[in-house]
Amino acid sequence: MTAVVIDGKKVAADVRDRLARDVATFTQRTGKAPGLATILVGEDPASEVYVANKRRSAIAAGIADFHRHLPANSTADDIAAVIDELADNDDVSGILLQLPLPAGIESAKLIDHIPAAKDVDGLTTMSAGLLARGEAGLRPCTPSGIITLLDSANITIEGALAVVVGRSQLVGAPLAQLLLHRNATVVIAHSRTADLASITKQADILVAAAGIPALVTAEHVKPGAAVIDVGIHRTEAGLVGDVLYDEVSAVAGWITPVPGGVGPMTIATLLHNTLRAAEASSVAA
């Protein structure tokens, strides 16, 4: 068997095109574009690239850009003050605090400074609670993007056995909740899981989000399964994921490539969340 490749670039481009149309309609109706505020602290080169990509995609979709770049020696109070200012600004629909923050600054408290209504990264305690309870709220971008990818390939989630390898607050834990809300039977594996392959081999949907290159090999995969690779690792041979692509694609039914799979969906979902936040605040106004 050769797996069907799920083209994240194409799906993300479709989402962004649709979104640009919806943003235009929203802006015409309300007289004001949705606004995305990105906060970058310090000079981390990877973070600078990520933030630049998010801003470029947002502007291309017709979303107003509110960017704040703070020096690396900013204190937690300095950052909180900027979040407060953006939270009070009616033109800002969503606030994104780019992680990681410079060493010594605790991110969890600052993330929780973002009001849930503007939490377009879906990472505040309030957003996590709403997700856990299955109540309406903004969902974390990478896990939401994975659900969109599965749907784009018409993969049946309801009733499927989904194994999520990884339990981070950024990816694994919220993804498990989203799959559960879609009526999958969900198993979460992690670094203490005994005999990982015996568990992953049962999965109809296998998501690798452990951050370990080539952790998932053909022996971890049930023939015909949908394999979603979240991992991103820079190697001399280029970007690779958590899945050993060549051998797994010979066993799986569907597979996401790295690059060009999950990655592009994360920004598309951020833009989607920004429009949703703007819509919710225009209804509340």
Contact positions toward ligand NAP, by CB under 6 A? 142, 165-168, 170-172, 189-193, 196, 209-212, 215, 230-232, 262-263, 266
201 assigned to active site: no
Tokens representing residue 232 in the block: 């991103």
Q: Rounded to whole angstroms, how far apart are CA atoms 98 and 181?
A: 28
Tokens representing residue 140 in the block: 């974390």
177 assigned to active site: no
Nearer Cβ to ligand NAP, position 6 or 82? 6
Nearer Cβ to ligand NAP, position 192 or 236? 192
Taking alpha carbons only, the member of 69, 66, 59 closest to residue 93 is: 66
22 assigned to active site: no
Nearer Cβ to ligand NAP, position 164 or 251? 164
Nearer Cβ to ligand NAP, position 110 or 216? 216
**Least spacing, CB of residue 110 vs ligand NAP, in Å:** 18
**Least spacing, CB of residue 22 vs ligand NAP, in Å:** 22
Catalytic residue among 22, 98, 229, 242: 98
Q: Rounded to whole angstroms, how far apart are CA atoms 138 and 95?
A: 12
**Least spacing, CB of residue 171 vs ligand NAP, in Å:** 4
Q: Shortest Cβ contact with ligand NAP: which residue?
A: 168
**Least spacing, CB of residue 64 vs ligand NAP, in Å:** 24
Tokens representing residue 213 in the block: 């290159």
Taking alpha carbons only, the member of 170, 82, 79, 158 closest to residue 121 is: 170
Nearer Cβ to ligand NAP, position 122 or 263? 263
**Least spacing, CB of residue 163 vs ligand NAP, in Å:** 10
Instruction: Determine phi and psi for 107, rounding to 5 degrees.
Output: -80, -35
Please report how the helices 172-181 and 141-152 are oriented relative to each other, as an axis angle in degrees rounded to 10: 50
Burial-class residue 190 by CB neighbours within 10 Å (0-12, 13-18, 19+): middle
Taking alpha carbons only, the member of 185, 224, 235, 179 closest to residue 201 is: 224
Instruction: Give catalytic residue positions.
Output: 54, 98, 121
